[in-house]
Amino acid sequence: MAANHTSWKRAMGRVFRATCLSGLLLLTAFLTPVGSSPPAAPSQAPPGHAPDQSKTSTRSQTAQLTSTEAHHPSHVVKVWLTEYRGRTFRVIQLPRCEHMEAVIAYNRRGETKEEAKERLGGVAVCTGAFHNSRSMALADFYQIDGSILSSATTGRWFFALMDDGQMDLSGDYALFKRTPGVTALALGQRLAPVLHKDGFSTRFMNRVTDRMALGMSHDYIFIVQGKSDIWRLAEFMQEKLPCRVALNSDGGHVVRGRAPVHIVFRWRETLAETNPSDELESAQSPMPVHAEG
């Protein structure tokens, strides 16, 4: 009888321990999130194989170079005629880059813009500053390499040419005036981004006559010529061309006559030496490129 009792107690103990173990396992399974796994060890390069910084730097520089080259304007001179609000404008588009340079042609005796363009080997030309049509004396600001030849009288915006070849249209006299290495020439009214009268009378602005304008965007230079009043010329520059800024230059008789100063644009000599002429194409135009006057 005692032996049976002892066996029964042992059996009950085994059952109790099994029950406790099963309950513990169930509790652990319940508290553990489904799909959880131990945190992964941080990735490291194998010993002795550090990342190749030179390759990373090279890839970065290559990407930057590709991005820069993608925005370089095409070396093409485009010329076309277009009509805007009853006025016909002739537009010349030039690339604004280090391969295109500008020269301010100054001739005290006066010359036509075609003569200035041919004398300096240009591909395009724009009339320059306002002057006395009889004496050919300049009427506004003009400096060469920081030396002033004609004083600023109106405060109008000007064409600035730096000694490194960069060019801009600006009204910042404090920055450019008397600055060594800077050649600058005051032009006429600012047409874009906002038209300013700049001291010109409404009568002058309303007059329909030969006019020229010079505009610039980040990548291009625009020379516009046509018979128009100032209002429509300004609207055309603002709405039809991607100009960041545009200035009216001397017009009237100067467009078809003589003047002491013009702005001539030409290819840099290094580009002309390394590129065949067929790479510097002119766009097809209904009007010959040299059909002036």
pLDDT tens figures, 46-70: 444 444 554 445 444 544 544 445 5
Query: E-assigned strands of 118-244?
Result: 124-127, 142-144, 147-150, 158-162, 167-170, 182-186, 190-192, 209-216, 220-228
pLDDT band at residue 229, thresholds of 50, 70 and 90?
A: very high
141: pLDDT confidence band, cut at 50, 70 and 90?
A: very high
Q: How long is the chain?
A: 293
The residue with tokens 């010359």 is 111
Q: Which residues contact 164 (CB under 8 A, 6 or more apart)?
A: 181
The dihedral of CA 54, 60, 64, 67: what is its sign?
positive
| 14 vs 39: which has the higher pLDDT | 14
* Burial class of residue 27, CB neighbours in 10 A (0-12, 13-18, 19+): exposed
Question: Which amino acid would we find at residue 147?
Answer: S
Secondary structure of residue 129 in the 3-state scheme: coil
Neighbours of 249 (CB within 10 A): 28
What percent of the chain has a predicted confidence (pLDDT) above 90? 58
- Assess whether pLDDT exceeds 80 at residue 222: yes
Residue 94 pLDDT exceeds 90: yes
Q: Which long-range contacts (CB under 8 A, 24 or more apart) does 256-259 make?
A: 256/210, 256/292, 256/293, 257/112, 258/110, 258/111, 258/112, 258/136, 259/110, 259/111, 259/112, 259/113, 259/127, 259/128, 259/131, 259/136
The closest of 219, 230, 145, 142 to 180, measured between CA atoms, is 145
Mean predicted confidence (pLDDT) in 215-220: 96
d(CA 106, CA 147): 14
Taking alpha carbons only, the member of 115, 151, 145, 79 closest to residue 264 is 115
Query: What average pLDDT score do residues 275-289 get?
Result: 35
Q: Name every residue whose Cβ is closer than 8 Å to that of residue 89 and which is 6 or more positions away in sequence.
A: 81, 82, 83, 224, 225, 226, 228, 233, 236
Can you give the pTM of this predicted structure? 0.69
